Amino acid sequence: MATPAQFNLPALSLRAIQAVLLHFDIPDLICLSYLSSSFYNIVKSVMYKNVWTHVSSCEEFGTNLKFLNSSGSDYGIWDFKMEKRKIGTLARREKNAHLYSSVTSVARYVVELTGIPVSNVEIEIDFFSIATIHSLKNLKIGRCNQLFIKSGILDDKGIPNRVLASLLKHNRATERIYIHAYTKKSFECPISFFQSRRLDVRYPAPWLTKELVFKLKCISIRLKENTILSVEDCFDFVKRWVKSDLKELEKFEYLDVAFEAVIKKLDVLKCLQMEEPIQIREWDEKMRGSYYRLPDETLNCEKGYDIIHKKWRLVATVLVRDRRFFFGVWHIPFPGFP
């Protein structure tokens, strides 16, 4: 059998090499960039469109970097292996103490080399050992689009304060922060850690006080199993929006709060009364649609009360039912639905 001719990549023109490299998986390109400064510069010159890095760590699927395009197809996966530790006659898999430092180094190198941004950083701490949870302080990706911190374990001990503060500080989400885990009552962190456009918190978060919520510059806030904010606080938030002429509040979309207990019957019109008269009316099908589009549902707002902001002429709806308080601004009064 004839031996196939060798493919002499360095002999090709720069444009031809770039075209070839676009067919490589990202992890292979990273390895190629280590060969020489020339290959580093060539890899760095390749332009990637609509490709993102996804950082994830959980017990079931391990820790890895996934490189995905806009359609969800992957451009390769970089897995970080776990060490096996023998305890007596049992072999137990444990994460390397330097694991998250390694993840940080590789992720930052990829951003510097390829310009591919980090889309999601997703941490699911279920079944992690205490040592592994504390080692998460070494995960310092920098800027990302979304940060997910999850735990399905209903443990009121919560995530250690320093770990949660470190994840928020060193993995700055610009679009959305998900905290779907119990957090400690003593947790505190600067408002500067919450610079994302959206905040989604599930399970009681005693540290998320009225003062902190009012300082947030998020365009959407979603709180589930809330035990700190009162219904009166939510109405105060609405009144603040009505009276405000701040530019960031003009872009505000919604406040969605789910309480642990059923909200007592109240007079919404009376709760919305202010010193300066405002326009409050029941649903008018000529003013807005009946359903408000949320990320995971379409909410029927026919029984909500509408407010019109005098300056911005925006219609907003207040809906109170069962355990839920919803305040949504209709930037698109008649949203189409697929």
Please give the model's pTM, rounded to 2 decimal places.
0.87
Amino acid 231: pLDDT? 95
Amino acid 96: pLDDT? 61
**Is residue 298 predicted with pLDDT exceeding 60?**
yes
Helix, strand or coil, per DSSP, at residue 120:
strand
DSSP letter, residue 229: S
Q: How confident is the model at residue 1 (pLDDT cuts 50, 70, 90)?
A: very low
Q: How far is CA 38 from CA 9, 17, 42, 45, in A?
A: 12, 12, 6, 11
In contact, 33 and 43? CB cutoff 8 Å: yes
Which residue has tokens 């998460």?
136
Taking the C-alpha atoms of residue 306 and residue 319, their distance in angstroms, rounded to an integer, is 9
Taking the C-alpha atoms of residue 227 and residue 315, their distance in angstroms, rounded to an integer, is 29
Exposed / middle / buried, residue 327 (Cβ in 10 Å: 0-12, 13-18, 19+): buried
Amino acid 177: pLDDT? 97
Amino acid 83: pLDDT? 56
Taking the C-alpha atoms of residue 148 and residue 25, their distance in angstroms, rounded to an integer, is 26
Averaged pLDDT, 179-196: 89
For 241-282, what is each residue's pLDDT tens digit?
Answer: 998 887 878 999 999 999 988 999 899 999 998 888 888 999
Averaged pLDDT, 295-301: 93
Amino acid 107: pLDDT? 93
Give me the chain's average pLDDT, please: 87
**Is residue 39 predicted with pLDDT exceeding 70?**
yes
Averaged pLDDT, 29-55: 88
**Is residue 97 predicted with pLDDT exceeding 80?**
no
Taking the C-alpha atoms of residue 199 and residue 175, their distance in angstroms, rounded to an integer, is 9
Q: Where are the alpha helices (DSSP H) in the chain?
A: 14-21, 26-33, 37-45, 99-114, 130-135, 161-170, 210-215, 231-243, 247-250, 268-271
As given in the structure block, the two tokens for residue 276 are 């300066």
For 40-51, what is each residue's pLDDT tens digit?
Answer: 998 888 877 788
